Amino acid sequence: MNLSLNSVRRALSALVGAAALVVMTGCAHQISMAPSAKPAAEPSAKINKTVAYVISPADMALEVKTPGGGGDKVKYQPYQDLDAALYQAFSAVFSDVSKVSSAADAKGVAYVITPTITTTSSSESMLTWPPTQFSVDLVCKVADGSGQAVTTVRAFGKGAATFDEFKSDFSLSARRASKEAVDKLVKSLSESPELRR
């Protein structure tokens, strides 16, 4: 009987230890950064240039994990999530836009744009996992058709969401941050004197 009781205690101890590990490491919940609307405003006059923007297959497949609430993390694919929004942003500014997998694939264009996306997320909540704060930093390096640097344009967006808001959309803070960043990107590109030469 004692052996049986000791075995049960060891098994319970192992289960408690495993549960504690799961609680400490948390898990990663899938969200999307894709904004739910097109860029807010288009410039009054487009730049009459043909451009290609570069997102490599590796970037398209990239999955990022950042903090959520309750010790958990969130995971998402920045380049895949923002691909359509970037196309809409570039199309709002330039007369002709295409997407390529590498700069070498961009033929007969005035500009080649290579975006870099950096994100952060956080939450003060110990009970719910969706992030209450999210940020998106878009840095677009622009080169001419021969590969010479023209300019770098940056747009930064922040998004916040409270429990009452995100309980029906766990991605809300991320979508808001992306929308602000994309809107600012359109403005920064359209106002860049280097791109209107």
Looking at residue 102, its pLDDT comes to 98
Quote the distance between the C-alpha of residue 197 and its chain's center.
31
CATH number at residue 189: 3.40.50
Q: Which pLDDT band, with edges at 50, 70 and 90, does 40 fall under?
A: confident
Whole-angstrom distance, CA of residue 121 vs CA of residue 40 = 24
Within-domain flag for 17: no
Band (10; pLDDT cuts 50, 70, 90):
low
Are 157 and 147 within 8 A, CB to CB?
Answer: no
The domain tally of the chain equals 1
Give me the domain span that covers residue 185: 26-196
- Residue 4 counted as domain residue: no
Asked if residue 3 belongs to a domain, the reply is: no
User: Which SS3 state, helix, strand or coil, does residue 57 take?
Assistant: helix
Lowest-pLDDT choice from 11-15, 168-172, 179-183:
11-15
- Our CA dihedral for 162, 165, 171, 175, rounded to 10 degrees, sits at -90
Cα separation, 140 vs 94, in Å, equals 14
Q: Are 75 and 61 in contact (CB under 8 A)?
A: no
pTM: 0.85
Q: Buried (b) or exposed (e) across 49-64, using 16+ Cβ within 10 A?
A: bebbbbbeeebeeeeb
For residue 31, being part of any structural domain is answered with yes
Q: Within a domain: residue 6? A: no
Please write the tens of the pLDDT for every residue from 92-135. Answer: 999 999 999 999 999 999 999 999 999 999 998 999 999 999 99
Identify which of 103, 119, 111, 108 has the alpha carbon closest to the alpha carbon of residue 55: 103
10 within a domain of the structure (yes/no) = no
pLDDT for the residue numbered 195: 97
Residue 110 tokens, joined:
């005035």
Say if 5 falls within a structural domain.
no
